[in-house]
Amino acid sequence: MARQYSLEKTRDIGIIAHIDAGKTTVSERILYYTGISHKIGEVHEGEAIMDWMVQERERGITITAAATTCFWTQTYSKNFKQEPKEYRINLIDTPGHIDFTAEVQRSLRVLDGAVVVFDGVAGVEPQSETVWRQADGYKVPRLCFINKLDRLGASFESSLASINERLTPNAVPIHLNIGLEDQFEGVIDLIRMKAIRFEGEKGEQIIEGEIPENLKTKAQNMRSHMIEKAAEQDDALLEKYLVNKELTEDEIRMGLRKGCLSYSLVPVLCGAALRNKGVQLVLDAVVDFLPSPLDLTESKPIKGINPRANTEVTRQPQDSEPFTALAFKVAADPFVGTLVYFRVYAGTLKKGSYTYNATKNEQERVGRILRMHANHREDVEQVYTGDIAALVGMKATTTGDTLCDEDKQIILEKPIFPEPVISMKVEPKTKADQEKMSIVLHKLQEEDPTFRVKTDEDTLETIIAGMGELHLDVLVDRMRREFNVAVNVGRPQVAYRETIKKPVEQEGKYIHQSGGRGQYGHVWLKLAPLERGKGFEFVNAIKGGIIPQSYIPAVEKGVKEAMGKGVLAGFPIVDMQVTLYDGSYHEVDSSEAAFKIAGSIALQEGAKKADVVLLEPIMKVEVIVPDRFLGDVTGDLSSKRAKIERMGERINLKVIDSFVPLAEMFGYATKLRSMTEGRGTFTMEFDHYEEVPRHIADLIVSGKKA
């Protein structure tokens, strides 16, 4: 079977947003208008098609990154002289809640472009800011959709201003709203200078008309600004524009597209998804401005490492290239077992064939390939470059692994996952639960790289760790519902870290030479502090074979193990460089095991002299309260060691942006509710680690504070 959609007509995109901005509603409308889903399930009715999992429905948030395929032809293309072109859009679902960082990261890793949805009342919210920065990191071209213009207090202008101020100075509106709040009628398409209204039960009829008289001048001014921006993206366009002061529709689109793909321009659209206004135009813009897999060759080439030769390799996005794909999500499916979602970067893959997992060094048989649609799955014979689909029956493949040709191996860059900041104890409720618990925890850990399970060495308790209270709650809930394992959980604990402040040099010796074969490992290590967030670096500075090469990985292993349990209070040591620069060995008695122990000893002894301090996770917290509670709430935040960054206004409400240690934030939801008669709301997410003030660190170390 040949490829059905050319690469040029493929879009691999995602919708990203702050929770509650309307991502689910927009996704639902997209699936409806693209003809896949014929019944719109409202989020509040708990029927959303994209929300596969029960908890998501109950909590009204989307957790899993389901990838769905749909098809679209631009609404205005009926004006084209040529045949309208249908595009295939692979929509990768991303969670709005930042506690599900792994989901955001892995989806950003495989997206080519994104639609960022904003609440037209709130404008830019802290999580939109975080996700925006992450998208910058992954070089994802994007569009903005200012949603909810029907809401009381909505404003296109102030939302746009907040995008320009907080996210990018390059936001360029290509729409203008007609009316607002309950008078919101539709939008003006500034490219075509038409008023667009959405009629019919679900807004499926698009009615084009003249621009209302009172908006003509404003639309004209905004159009001029847009054309100027489009022209700036291309020399030929600019020349033409300087002469004529005008460009054709196609030229404007071309300029905007070029700007969007090169990150120098972000088109901004608007609407109200719940009122069925504006979503079709978002799809038009996805096709017009977001990249196809072909567009990425220059800006974001497909690069990886050949694990055999240890050299860098690149691939072109073409079916004729060697097969190269990234597994970006593992999901348990009640019908077919485990699904591995993957994105094909180059080449093709046939059902019934074999592929090679270069990350795990294992061959995998390709049993079935499924393309996921919103409400059904389709068995496909073959997938091509740019496709996103799911494999059934993989044995070894997990999130972040590269699948490729065995003869042409490549390992693509993995998504970056942060370390967990919160942990808690779990224990099975009954004996029967005990047996299943560890199997299920292991399974969940495979699905989610930000979820960790370990056994406390001293107490033998099982500890789970993740990105926030909600993250762990959801996982515990899934254990009960999906896998029927009931557990009791302990109080959430902060995941502290330890680090050193002073460089030291330290010897580590493990030598036993009494009778028979002895043990001989001897090293000198230099420990030095690294910048916050840099993790661990091992430098091998051994010259002239003072320690044979074959023992050096063992030293590193010993060092790493010792770093797992710090010298102050047993928290992992981070942000440290360890240089192995001297030592000695014995022809007969030296072994890997002896060098590993020597490495551990040197690390532990050295750390004790290196001025060890505790680090704690600092959360970015935004609190929104009515004016009259401002004093109480900021006072309370100050007592929580908060650093208040900014105070803003949002229609009769005060917005407080601050950084607060996670340790101070447990139970804040209840506290805020009681302080504000239930009117205050807040969001928080992990931001960075910082040193714990000495007097508090002393309490933690002596076990007087969690």
Between CA 372 and CA 342 the distance in angstroms is 12
Toward ligand GDP, which CB reaches closer, 276 or 324?
276
- Of 9, 11, 23, 522, the residue at the interface with ligand GDP (CB under 6 A) is 23
Among 143-151, 307-315, 353-361, 362-370, the segment contacting ligand GDP (CB under 6 A)? 143-151
Between CA 650 and CA 653 the distance in angstroms is 5
Minimum CB distance to ligand GDP, residue 97 (Å): 8
Toward ligand GDP, which CB reaches closer, 44 or 442?
44
Toward ligand GDP, which CB reaches closer, 280 or 359?
280
Minimum CB distance to ligand GDP, residue 146 (Å): 10
Minimum CB distance to ligand GDP, residue 663 (Å): 28
Minimum CB distance to ligand GDP, residue 92 (Å): 14
Q: Which residues are part of a known binding site?
A: 17-24, 93-97, 147-150
State the alpha helices, DSSP H only, in 77-125: 101-110
Minimum CB distance to ligand GDP, residue 71 (Å): 22
Distance of CA 243 to the CA centre of its chain: 45
- Of 10, 25, 324, 355, the residue at the interface with ligand GDP (CB under 6 A) is 25
Q: Are 128 and 625 in contact (CB under 8 A)?
A: no
Toward ligand GDP, which CB reaches closer, 17 or 290?
17
- Of 9, 11, 142, 151, the residue at the interface with ligand GDP (CB under 6 A) is 151
Minimum CB distance to ligand GDP, residue 341 (Å): 20
- 3-state percent helix, strand, coil for the chain, nearest multiple of 5: 30, 30, 35
Between CA 610 and CA 701 the distance in angstroms is 17
Considering the rule CB under 6 A, would residue 274 count as an interface residue with ligand GDP? yes
Between CA 306 and CA 316 the distance in angstroms is 15
Q: What one-character DSSP code corresponds to residue 413?
A: P
Minimum CB distance to ligand GDP, residue 271 (Å): 7
Please list the residues that pair with 392 across neighbouring strands: 339, 368
Between CA 115 and CA 488 the distance in angstroms is 40
Toward ligand GDP, which CB reaches closer, 171 or 272?
272
Query: What's the full length of the chain, in residues?
Result: 706
Toward ligand GDP, which CB reaches closer, 275 or 377?
275
Per rule CB under 6 A, count of chain residues that contact ligand GDP: 22
Which residue type is seen at 153? Answer: G
Toward ligand GDP, which CB reaches closer, 95 or 304?
95
C-alpha dihedral over 72, 76, 78, 82, to 10 degrees?
Answer: -80
Considering the rule CB under 6 A, would residue 131 count as an interface residue with ligand GDP? no
State the alpha helices, DSSP H only, in 327-378: none
DSSP state string for 181-224: GGG--EEEETTTTEEEEEESTTS-EEEEEPPPGGGHHHHHHHHH
Between CA 496 and CA 673 the distance in angstroms is 28
**Binders of ligand GDP among 40-69, rule CB under 6 A?**
43-44, 60-62
Query: Going residue by residue from 72 to 111, which x/- string records binding to ligand GDP, judged by CB under 6 A?
Result: ------------------------x---------------
Tokens encoding 627: 């004016």
What phi and psi values does residue 398 have, to the nearest 5 degrees? -130, 175
Considering the rule CB under 6 A, would residue 148 count as an interface residue with ligand GDP? yes
- Of 13, 16, 17, 412, the residue at the interface with ligand GDP (CB under 6 A) is 17
**Binders of ligand GDP among 456-495, rule CB under 6 A?**
none
Minimum CB distance to ligand GDP, residue 472 (Å): 20
- Of 13, 19, 389, 623, the residue at the interface with ligand GDP (CB under 6 A) is 19
Minimum CB distance to ligand GDP, residue 106 (Å): 18
Q: Are 442 and 489 in contact (CB under 8 A)?
A: no
In this structure, the number of other CB atoms found within 10 A of the CB of residue 36 comes to 18
Beta strands per DSSP E along 366-448? 368-372, 377-380, 382-383, 388-392, 402-404, 411-412, 422-428
Toward ligand GDP, which CB reaches closer, 98 or 612?
98
Q: Which residues are part of a known binding site for GTP?
A: 17-24, 93-97, 147-150
- Of 7, 40, 260, 273, the residue at the interface with ligand GDP (CB under 6 A) is 273
| 3 state DSSP class of 696 | helix
Query: Going residue by residue from 647 to 666, which x/- string records binding to ligand GDP, judged by CB under 6 A?
Result: --------------------
Toward ligand GDP, which CB reaches closer, 61 or 247?
61
Q: Are 487 and 497 in contact (CB under 8 A)?
A: no
Which residue type is seen at 218? Answer: K
Sheet of 311-315: strands edge to edge? 311-315, 302-306, 411-412
Considering the rule CB under 6 A, would residue 272 count as an interface residue with ligand GDP? yes
In this structure, the number of other CB atoms found within 10 A of the CB of residue 28 comes to 26
Query: Going residue by residue from 609 to 638, which x/- string records binding to ligand GDP, judged by CB under 6 A?
Result: ------------------------------
Minimum CB distance to ligand GDP, residue 26 (Å): 7
Closest to 62 in 3D by CA, of 15, 116, 2, 109: 15
Considering the rule CB under 6 A, would residue 394 count as an interface residue with ligand GDP? no
Toward ligand GDP, which CB reaches closer, 398 or 683?
683
Minimum CB distance to ligand GDP, residue 282 (Å): 12
Toward ligand GDP, which CB reaches closer, 47 or 435?
47
Distance of CA 623 to the CA centre of its chain: 23
**CA atoms within a 13 Å half-sphere pointing along the CA-CB vector of 399:** 26
Toward ligand GDP, which CB reaches closer, 116 or 523?
116
Beta strands per DSSP E along 29-174? 67-72, 87-93, 113-119, 142-147, 171-173
Max CA distance (Å), the chain: 101
Minimum CB distance to ligand GDP, residue 154 (Å): 8
Minimum CB distance to ligand GDP, residue 51 (Å): 9
Considering the rule CB under 6 A, would residue 175 count as an interface residue with ligand GDP? no
Unique residue bearing structure tokens 């107490």: 459
Minimum CB distance to ligand GDP, residue 672 (Å): 20
Toward ligand GDP, which CB reaches closer, 275 or 654?
275
- Of 56, 112, 150, 622, the residue at the interface with ligand GDP (CB under 6 A) is 150
Closest to 550 in 3D by CA, of 596, 518, 512: 596
- Of 16, 21, 237, 607, the residue at the interface with ligand GDP (CB under 6 A) is 21
- Of 12, 16, 22, 72, the residue at the interface with ligand GDP (CB under 6 A) is 22
Between CA 136 and CA 145 the distance in angstroms is 17
Toward ligand GDP, which CB reaches closer, 12 or 150?
150
**CB within 8 A of 281, min separation 6: which ones?**
75, 175, 187, 189, 196, 269, 271
Residues at the site binding ligand GDP, with contacts judged by CB under 6 A: 17, 19-25, 43-44, 60-62, 96, 147-148, 150-151, 272-275
